Protein backbone atom coordinates (compact mmCIF):
# COMPACT_ATOMS: atom_id res chain seq x y z
CA UNK A 1 0.00 0.00 0.00
CA UNK A 2 1.27 3.48 -0.82
CA UNK A 3 2.00 6.09 1.77
CA UNK A 4 -0.41 8.99 2.05
CA UNK A 5 0.24 12.56 3.14
CA UNK A 6 -0.72 13.79 6.58
CA UNK A 7 -4.15 15.40 6.43
CA UNK A 8 -4.16 19.05 7.48
CA UNK A 9 -7.32 20.79 6.22
CA UNK A 10 -7.16 24.44 5.24
CA UNK A 11 -10.17 26.59 6.16
CA UNK A 12 -12.16 28.00 3.28
CA UNK A 13 -11.34 25.35 0.68
CA UNK A 14 -13.95 23.16 -1.05
CA UNK A 15 -14.97 19.96 0.74
CA UNK A 16 -14.86 17.91 -2.46
CA UNK A 17 -13.38 18.16 -5.94
CA UNK A 18 -14.16 16.47 -9.26
CA UNK A 19 -11.12 15.25 -11.16
CA UNK A 20 -11.71 15.31 -14.92
CA UNK A 21 -9.25 12.74 -16.27
CA UNK A 22 -7.89 13.60 -19.73
CA UNK A 23 -5.09 11.05 -20.02
CA UNK A 24 -6.57 8.82 -22.74
CA UNK A 25 -7.22 11.82 -24.99
CA UNK A 26 -4.98 14.75 -24.09
CA UNK A 27 -2.35 12.52 -22.55
CA UNK A 28 -1.89 10.22 -25.53
CA UNK A 29 -2.64 12.55 -28.45
CA UNK A 30 0.96 13.73 -28.80
CA UNK A 31 2.59 10.30 -28.56
CA UNK A 32 4.58 9.46 -31.69
CA UNK A 33 4.29 5.71 -31.20
CA UNK A 34 0.76 4.51 -31.94
CA UNK A 35 -0.86 2.91 -28.90
CA UNK A 36 -3.04 -0.14 -29.76
CA UNK A 37 -6.77 0.34 -29.36
CA UNK A 38 -6.98 -2.53 -26.87
CA UNK A 39 -4.35 -0.81 -24.71
CA UNK A 40 -6.30 2.46 -24.81
CA UNK A 41 -9.49 0.64 -23.79
CA UNK A 42 -7.67 -1.04 -20.91
CA UNK A 43 -6.30 2.38 -19.87
CA UNK A 44 -9.78 3.89 -19.75
CA UNK A 45 -11.19 0.96 -17.80
CA UNK A 46 -8.34 0.98 -15.29
CA UNK A 47 -8.82 4.71 -14.69
CA UNK A 48 -12.53 4.19 -14.06
CA UNK A 49 -11.74 1.31 -11.70
CA UNK A 50 -9.37 3.62 -9.79
CA UNK A 51 -12.35 5.82 -8.95
CA UNK A 52 -11.97 8.66 -11.45
CA UNK A 53 -15.50 10.01 -11.96
CA UNK A 54 -14.92 11.43 -15.47
CA UNK A 55 -12.56 9.93 -18.05
CA UNK A 56 -12.32 11.67 -21.43
CA UNK A 57 -11.72 8.85 -23.88
CA UNK A 58 -10.70 10.26 -27.27
CA UNK A 59 -11.24 12.91 -29.92
CA UNK A 60 -13.13 12.76 -33.21
CA UNK A 61 -10.57 14.91 -34.94
CA UNK A 62 -9.41 14.17 -38.49
CA UNK A 63 -6.71 11.44 -38.39
CA UNK A 64 -4.38 13.62 -40.45
CA UNK A 65 -4.12 16.11 -37.58
CA UNK A 66 -3.86 13.65 -34.68
CA UNK A 67 -2.92 10.19 -36.00
CA UNK A 68 -2.84 8.73 -32.48
CA UNK A 69 -6.61 9.15 -32.19
CA UNK A 70 -7.52 7.80 -35.64
CA UNK A 71 -9.13 4.79 -33.94
CA UNK A 72 -11.75 6.85 -32.09
CA UNK A 73 -14.74 4.87 -33.41
CA UNK A 74 -12.99 1.56 -32.80
CA UNK A 75 -12.11 2.56 -29.23
CA UNK A 76 -15.61 3.70 -28.35
CA UNK A 77 -17.09 0.56 -29.92
CA UNK A 78 -14.64 -1.56 -27.92
CA UNK A 79 -15.72 0.19 -24.71
CA UNK A 80 -19.33 -0.67 -25.57
CA UNK A 81 -22.21 0.59 -23.46
CA UNK A 82 -19.88 1.91 -20.76
CA UNK A 83 -18.19 4.05 -23.39
CA UNK A 84 -21.32 6.07 -24.03
CA UNK A 85 -20.83 7.86 -20.74
CA UNK A 86 -17.27 8.96 -21.47
CA UNK A 87 -16.76 12.45 -22.91
CA UNK A 88 -15.10 12.85 -26.31
CA UNK A 89 -13.72 15.91 -28.03
CA UNK A 90 -15.50 17.01 -31.21
CA UNK A 91 -13.77 19.80 -33.16
CA UNK A 92 -16.72 20.57 -35.41
CA UNK A 93 -20.05 19.27 -36.75
CA UNK A 94 -18.37 16.36 -38.55
CA UNK A 95 -16.91 15.22 -35.27
CA UNK A 96 -20.31 15.61 -33.62
CA UNK A 97 -21.90 13.46 -36.34
CA UNK A 98 -19.47 10.68 -35.49
CA UNK A 99 -20.24 10.96 -31.77
CA UNK A 100 -23.99 10.97 -32.38
CA UNK A 101 -23.73 7.88 -34.59
CA UNK A 102 -22.26 5.99 -31.63
CA UNK A 103 -24.86 7.22 -29.16
CA UNK A 104 -22.39 9.12 -27.00
CA UNK A 105 -23.77 11.42 -24.31
CA UNK A 106 -20.98 13.90 -23.53
CA UNK A 107 -18.94 15.98 -25.95
CA UNK A 108 -16.42 18.79 -25.65
CA UNK A 109 -15.32 21.54 -28.02
CA UNK A 110 -11.88 23.14 -28.03
CA UNK A 111 -11.43 26.84 -28.69
CA UNK A 112 -8.73 29.46 -28.27
CA UNK A 113 -8.58 32.66 -26.24
CA UNK A 114 -6.11 34.18 -28.71
CA UNK A 115 -6.21 35.06 -32.38
CA UNK A 116 -2.89 33.47 -33.31
CA UNK A 117 -3.57 30.12 -31.69
CA UNK A 118 -7.01 30.00 -33.29
CA UNK A 119 -5.22 30.30 -36.63
CA UNK A 120 -2.55 27.74 -35.69
CA UNK A 121 -4.93 25.18 -34.19
CA UNK A 122 -8.14 25.63 -36.17
CA UNK A 123 -7.02 27.62 -39.22
CA UNK A 124 -9.69 30.16 -38.30
CA UNK A 125 -9.88 33.59 -36.75
CA UNK A 126 -10.99 34.10 -33.16
CA UNK A 127 -14.43 35.13 -34.38
CA UNK A 128 -14.91 32.47 -37.04
CA UNK A 129 -13.97 29.71 -34.58
CA UNK A 130 -16.94 30.79 -32.48
CA UNK A 131 -19.17 30.78 -35.54
CA UNK A 132 -18.03 27.20 -36.23
CA UNK A 133 -18.84 26.09 -32.69
CA UNK A 134 -22.35 27.54 -32.58
CA UNK A 135 -24.14 24.92 -34.73
CA UNK A 136 -22.09 22.13 -33.13
CA UNK A 137 -23.19 23.13 -29.64
CA UNK A 138 -26.78 23.83 -30.73
CA UNK A 139 -27.17 20.43 -32.39
CA UNK A 140 -25.51 18.61 -29.50
CA UNK A 141 -27.80 20.24 -26.97
CA UNK A 142 -30.86 19.58 -29.14
CA UNK A 143 -29.87 15.90 -29.16
CA UNK A 144 -29.70 15.90 -25.37
CA UNK A 145 -25.92 15.83 -25.08
CA UNK A 146 -23.92 17.56 -22.38
CA UNK A 147 -21.36 20.00 -23.83
CA UNK A 148 -18.11 21.14 -22.27
CA UNK A 149 -15.97 23.93 -23.73
CA UNK A 150 -12.20 24.06 -23.47
CA UNK A 151 -10.50 27.42 -23.89
CA UNK A 152 -6.76 27.25 -24.56
CA UNK A 153 -4.07 29.91 -24.04
CA UNK A 154 -5.93 31.49 -21.12
CA UNK A 155 -2.79 32.79 -19.40
CA UNK A 156 -0.11 33.04 -22.06
CA UNK A 157 0.40 32.39 -25.76
CA UNK A 158 3.77 31.48 -27.36
CA UNK A 159 3.14 33.98 -30.17
CA UNK A 160 1.23 36.75 -28.41
CA UNK A 161 2.69 36.62 -24.90
CA UNK A 162 0.61 37.24 -21.75
CA UNK A 163 -3.16 37.07 -22.25
CA UNK A 164 -5.43 39.60 -20.56
CA UNK A 165 -8.15 38.18 -18.33
CA UNK A 166 -10.88 40.18 -20.07
CA UNK A 167 -10.00 38.56 -23.40
CA UNK A 168 -10.49 35.12 -21.86
CA UNK A 169 -13.75 36.18 -20.22
CA UNK A 170 -15.06 37.52 -23.54
CA UNK A 171 -14.42 34.21 -25.34
CA UNK A 172 -15.58 32.07 -22.42
CA UNK A 173 -18.81 34.00 -22.01
CA UNK A 174 -19.68 33.44 -25.67
CA UNK A 175 -19.17 29.69 -25.31
CA UNK A 176 -21.30 29.48 -22.17
CA UNK A 177 -24.03 31.54 -23.85
CA UNK A 178 -24.02 29.04 -26.74
CA UNK A 179 -24.97 26.32 -24.29
CA UNK A 180 -21.76 24.86 -22.87
CA UNK A 181 -22.39 23.60 -19.35
CA UNK A 182 -18.81 24.04 -18.18
CA UNK A 183 -15.78 26.03 -19.25
CA UNK A 184 -12.31 24.50 -18.83
CA UNK A 185 -9.65 27.22 -18.72
CA UNK A 186 -6.36 25.96 -20.11
CA UNK A 187 -2.85 27.07 -19.22
CA UNK A 188 -1.71 25.44 -22.44
CA UNK A 189 1.98 26.35 -22.20
CA UNK A 190 2.17 26.28 -18.40
CA UNK A 191 3.16 29.90 -17.81
CA UNK A 192 0.41 30.84 -15.34
CA UNK A 193 1.19 31.94 -11.80
CA UNK A 194 -1.07 31.88 -8.76
CA UNK A 195 -1.92 35.56 -8.94
CA UNK A 196 -3.07 35.20 -12.54
CA UNK A 197 -5.31 32.29 -11.59
CA UNK A 198 -6.95 34.28 -8.80
CA UNK A 199 -7.40 37.29 -11.06
CA UNK A 200 -8.95 35.26 -13.89
CA UNK A 201 -11.50 33.56 -11.63
CA UNK A 202 -12.28 36.99 -10.19
CA UNK A 203 -12.77 38.47 -13.66
CA UNK A 204 -15.27 35.74 -14.52
CA UNK A 205 -17.05 36.44 -11.23
CA UNK A 206 -17.35 40.12 -12.14
CA UNK A 207 -18.97 38.99 -15.41
CA UNK A 208 -21.54 36.97 -13.46
CA UNK A 209 -19.90 33.56 -14.02
CA UNK A 210 -19.17 31.76 -10.77
CA UNK A 211 -16.52 29.12 -10.07
CA UNK A 212 -19.17 26.39 -10.29
CA UNK A 213 -19.21 26.87 -14.10
CA UNK A 214 -15.43 26.78 -14.42
CA UNK A 215 -12.75 24.10 -14.45
CA UNK A 216 -8.97 24.49 -14.53
CA UNK A 217 -6.60 22.72 -16.92
CA UNK A 218 -3.00 23.30 -15.83
CA UNK A 219 0.26 22.28 -17.48
CA UNK A 220 3.45 21.94 -15.45
CA UNK A 221 5.94 23.41 -17.93
CA UNK A 222 7.36 25.79 -15.31
CA UNK A 223 6.54 23.65 -12.28
CA UNK A 224 3.58 25.81 -11.27
CA UNK A 225 0.64 23.43 -11.76
CA UNK A 226 0.12 22.50 -8.11
CA UNK A 227 0.68 26.06 -6.89
CA UNK A 228 -1.90 27.24 -9.41
CA UNK A 229 -4.27 24.46 -8.32
CA UNK A 230 -4.03 25.65 -4.72
CA UNK A 231 -4.83 29.21 -5.83
CA UNK A 232 -7.82 27.93 -7.81
CA UNK A 233 -9.08 25.97 -4.80
CA UNK A 234 -8.91 29.12 -2.72
CA UNK A 235 -10.93 30.88 -5.44
CA UNK A 236 -13.65 28.21 -5.20
CA UNK A 237 -12.88 26.02 -8.23
CA UNK A 238 -14.05 22.43 -7.72
CA UNK A 239 -13.27 20.76 -11.07
CA UNK A 240 -9.70 20.12 -12.21
CA UNK A 241 -8.46 18.45 -15.38
CA UNK A 242 -5.51 16.12 -14.93
CA UNK A 243 -3.70 13.39 -16.84
CA UNK A 244 -2.67 10.09 -15.27
CA UNK A 245 1.09 9.94 -14.94
CA UNK A 246 1.46 13.52 -16.22
CA UNK A 247 1.16 12.47 -19.85
CA UNK A 248 0.35 14.91 -22.59
CA UNK A 249 0.73 18.22 -24.26
CA UNK A 250 -0.69 20.13 -27.17
CA UNK A 251 0.53 19.06 -30.65
CA UNK A 252 0.10 22.62 -31.97
CA UNK A 253 2.13 24.41 -29.27
CA UNK A 254 5.72 23.21 -28.96
CA UNK A 255 6.16 24.64 -25.45
CA UNK A 256 3.10 22.80 -24.11
CA UNK A 257 4.60 20.03 -22.04
CA UNK A 258 2.81 17.59 -19.80
CA UNK A 259 -0.48 18.12 -18.06
CA UNK A 260 -0.84 18.26 -14.31
CA UNK A 261 -0.35 14.63 -13.19
CA UNK A 262 -3.48 13.15 -11.65
CA UNK A 263 -1.41 11.49 -8.92
CA UNK A 264 0.19 14.80 -7.94
CA UNK A 265 -3.24 16.41 -7.77
CA UNK A 266 -4.60 13.53 -5.66
CA UNK A 267 -1.68 13.85 -3.24
CA UNK A 268 -2.36 17.59 -2.78
CA UNK A 269 -6.10 17.10 -2.31
CA UNK A 270 -5.58 14.21 0.11
CA UNK A 271 -3.24 16.30 2.24
CA UNK A 272 -5.79 19.09 2.40
CA UNK A 273 -8.57 16.69 3.40
CA UNK A 274 -10.53 17.38 0.19
CA UNK A 275 -12.64 14.44 -0.99
CA UNK A 276 -11.88 13.17 -4.52
CA UNK A 277 -12.86 9.49 -4.55
CA UNK A 278 -9.69 8.24 -6.24
CA UNK A 279 -7.75 5.16 -5.11
CA UNK A 280 -4.13 6.35 -5.32
CA UNK A 281 -2.71 2.81 -5.25
CA UNK A 282 -4.77 1.77 -8.27
CA UNK A 283 -3.99 5.01 -10.09
CA UNK A 284 -0.22 4.72 -9.55
CA UNK A 285 -0.35 1.11 -10.73
CA UNK A 286 -2.22 2.21 -13.86
CA UNK A 287 0.24 5.00 -14.68
CA UNK A 288 3.21 2.70 -14.06
CA UNK A 289 1.64 0.17 -16.42
CA UNK A 290 1.03 2.82 -19.10
CA UNK A 291 4.59 4.12 -18.76
CA UNK A 292 5.75 0.57 -19.52
CA UNK A 293 3.51 0.49 -22.61
CA UNK A 294 5.10 3.76 -23.79
CA UNK A 295 8.63 2.64 -22.93
CA UNK A 296 9.60 5.45 -20.59
CA UNK A 297 9.23 6.51 -16.94
CA UNK A 298 6.17 8.43 -15.78
CA UNK A 299 6.67 12.22 -15.57
CA UNK A 300 4.60 12.31 -12.35
CA UNK A 301 6.63 13.19 -9.24
CA UNK A 302 4.26 11.19 -7.02
CA UNK A 303 4.44 8.11 -9.26
CA UNK A 304 8.25 8.26 -9.22
CA UNK A 305 8.40 8.77 -5.46
CA UNK A 306 6.02 5.95 -4.64
CA UNK A 307 7.70 3.62 -7.12
CA UNK A 308 11.03 4.25 -5.40
CA UNK A 309 9.60 3.77 -1.91
CA UNK A 310 8.05 0.44 -2.88
CA UNK A 311 11.03 -0.76 -4.88
CB of 28 closer than 8 Å to CB of 261: no
pLDDT of residue 8: 98
What DSSP assignment string belongs to 1-12? ----PPP---TT
User: Domain coordinates of the chain in residue numbers?
Assistant: 18-310
pTM of the entire structure? 0.95
CA angle 203, 209, 211 (to 5 degrees): 85
Distance CA 42, CA 169 (A): 38
Q: Quick count: other Cβ atoms within 10 Å of Cβ 274? A: 19
pLDDT of residue 257: 63
Residue-wise pLDDT tens digits, 231-277: 999 999 999 999 999 998 544 445 446 899 999 999 999 999 999 99
CA angle 26, 65, 141 (to 5 degrees): 65
Task: Specify whether 154 is catalytic.
Answer: no
Q: Quick count: other Cβ atoms within 10 Å of Cβ 123? A: 9
Residue-wise pLDDT tens digits, 31-61: 888 999 999 999 999 999 999 999 999 999 9
Distance CA 281, CA 1 (A): 7
Bridging pattern class, strands 18-21 and 161-162: unpaired
Homologous superfamily of 18-310: Aldolase class I (3.20.20.70)
Class of residue 160 by CB neighbours under 10 A (exposed 0-12, middle 13-18, buried 19+): middle
Class of residue 306 by CB neighbours under 10 A (exposed 0-12, middle 13-18, buried 19+): buried
pLDDT of residue 255: 44
CB of 242 closer than 8 Å to CB of 260: yes
Spot the catalytic one: 57, 250, 266, 280: 250
- Listed in order, strand segments (DSSP E) in the chain are 18-21, 54-55, 58-59, 88-89, 106-112, 146-152, 156-157, 161-162, 182-187, 214-218, 239-242
pLDDT of residue 209: 98
CB of 126 closer than 8 Å to CB of 118: yes
| Low pLDDT (below 50) residues in the chain | 1, 250-253, 255-256
Distance CA 7, CA 113 (A): 37
CB of 278 closer than 8 Å to CB of 52: yes
CB of 129 closer than 8 Å to CB of 136: no
Distance CA 129, CA 203 (A): 23
Distance CA 254, CA 304 (A): 25
Amino acid sequence: MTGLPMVVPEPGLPEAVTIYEVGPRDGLQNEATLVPTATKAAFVRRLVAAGLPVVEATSFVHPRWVPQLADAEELMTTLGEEGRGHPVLVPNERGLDRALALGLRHVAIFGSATETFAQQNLNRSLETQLAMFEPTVRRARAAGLDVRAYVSMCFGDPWEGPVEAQQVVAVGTRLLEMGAAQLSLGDTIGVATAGQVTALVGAFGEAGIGPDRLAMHFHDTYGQALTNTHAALRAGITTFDASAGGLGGCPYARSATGNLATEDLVWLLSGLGIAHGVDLDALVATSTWMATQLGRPSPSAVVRALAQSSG
